Amino acid sequence: MLTNRKSLWWLLGPPVVYLAALPVANRVEPVVFGLPFLMFWLVVATLLSPLFVWLAAKGDPVWAAARRAERAQADKQ
């Protein structure tokens, strides 16, 4: 189930950016784009999360196999 799927390590990205960064990000200053820093950081983390999942999928042989199977089926129709 998990063998040869090294790219799944990217799925640890969201917990790391949201949580491991908290001790540093838990502050009001500096204000970025009008947002207090903690809120700005959480917005950044929210935008990065889908990117991490995308990176996980990009290197995932299961994703690639499923894509190939989908294309093969689309060709048949």
User: Which residues lie near another protein (CB under 8 A)?
Assistant: 1-3, 8, 11, 13-15, 18-19, 22-23, 26-28, 31, 34-36, 38-39, 42-43, 45-47, 49-50, 52-54, 56-57, 61-63, 65-67, 69-70, 73
Scan for tokens 């499923």, then name that residue: 66
Contact between 53 and 11 (Cβ < 8 Å):
yes
Pick the closest to residue 57 from 8, 17, 18 (CA basis). 8
CB of 54 to another protein, least distance (A): 5
Closest approach of another protein to the CB of residue 41, in Å: 10
Element (DSSP H or E) covering residue 51: helix 37-58
